[in-house]
């Protein structure tokens, strides 16, 4: 992959795909699925700079699993792979323990009700 370094308070994010099958075994076609609003931070900028030139580091770091708004960031392709570039302020929060089965069941149930 080509090396990409975001500037300032921007981050490079790879979307994390959700399961395509519900708990009841119903397969959701790609056309009916919303784009995931969860991703992994691939790369970050140096941080925000104030008027005096002081740089403040970002709260997110490479490898963090994050949640972001539905229309956040700008979608780009690097070496044929889809990524999103967004400002840190567009990140809603950092997920910890994202691999729990309870959390994924909640997402699938919510997605199936739409």
pLDDT tens, 69-96? 888 899 999 888 899 999 999 999 998 8
Q: What CATH number is given to the structural domain containing 23?
A: 2.30.33.40
11-62 pLDDT, tens per residue?
999 988 765 555 666 666 555 455 668 999 999 999 988 889 898 999 999 9
60 domain-assigned: yes
Give the count of domains, the chain.
Answer: 1
Contact 73, 90 (CB under 8 A): yes
5 domain residue, yes or no: no
38 lies in some domain: yes
Domain holding 94, by residue range, is 10-113
pTM for this predicted structure: 0.67
In a domain, 65, yes or no: yes
In a domain, 75, yes or no: yes
């Amino acid at each position: 992959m080509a090396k990409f370094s975001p500037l300032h308070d921007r981050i490079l994010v790879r979307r994390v795909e959700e399961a395509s099958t519900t708990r009841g075994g119903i397969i959701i076609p790609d056309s009916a699925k919303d784009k995931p609003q969860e991703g992994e931070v691939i790369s970050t900028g140096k941080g925000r700079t104030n008027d005096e030139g002081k740089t403040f580091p970002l709260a997110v770091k490479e490898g963090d699993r994050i949640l972001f708004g539905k229309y956040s960031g700008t979608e780009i392709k690097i070496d044929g792979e889809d990524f999103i570039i967004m400002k840190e302020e567009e990140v809603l929060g950092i997920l910890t323990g994202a691999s729990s089965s309870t959390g994924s069941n909640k997402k699938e149930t919510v997605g199936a009700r739409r």
